[in-house]
Structure 1
Amino acid sequence: MTEKSRAKELVGYSFLVVFANDDTIDEKELAMIERLALEDGVVDDKEKEILRRLFDRLDHYTVARKVVEEINSFRKQHDI
């Protein structure tokens, strides 16, 4: 993990905020996750691994359509 990697923060945020309160993700939570991952301008390999696991864990039937579309776009854009 590089010095600039926000992988630990992504793990902490996803489990403390995303999954602890309702086991799903909303627009604000996704925006924060994207900001953390892109803080240094690059989504590094460790961040990609964490994001992949996070996004794969979501039940897309309980996530708003707009959020699912943004997740899919973010994944494609950053090869996640």
Structure 2
Amino acid sequence: MSANRDHLEMAFHSISCFGNDGRLDATELDRLVAIAERDGIIDPDEIRVLNNIISRVQPHEIDAAMKARLDALRRKIGPAPVPAT
């Protein structure tokens, strides 16, 4: 685990993002990504947290703005890992 604790801040902040209306919008996702990027690199812990947060977004909640941001984020961090069966 890295010495950087931004992933913990991201996880904590995501609680309020989902807690205010039960969903994550594009602006809230941008804020989470900004936390991850503020040191110039998105480390493995931050990627793990982002993937966990994104996995909670329901397909019917994805509007055009959110889809664009998710697509851009996937280009940066790669696809979410497939769970082992």
Q: Does 1:51 align with 2:33?
A: no
- State how far apart, in whole Å, the 1-side matches of 2:72 and 2:61 are: 18
Percent identical: 22
Structure having the higher Rg? 2
- State how far apart, in whole Å, the 1-side matches of 2:40 and 2:76 are: 13
- State how far apart, in whole Å, the 2-side matches of 1:41 and 1:25 are: 24
What TM-score, normalized by structure 1, do the two folds share?
A: 0.84
Segments of 4+ moved more than 3 angstroms: none
- State how far apart, in whole Å, the 1-side matches of 2:78 and 2:40 are: 14
- State how far apart, in whole Å, the 2-side matches of 1:34 and 1:48 are: 10
Q: Which runs of 5+ in 2 are unaligned?
A: 80-85
Number of equivalenced pairs: 79
What TM-score, normalized by structure 2, do the two folds share?
A: 0.80
- State how far apart, in whole Å, the 1-side matches of 2:50 and 2:37 are: 12
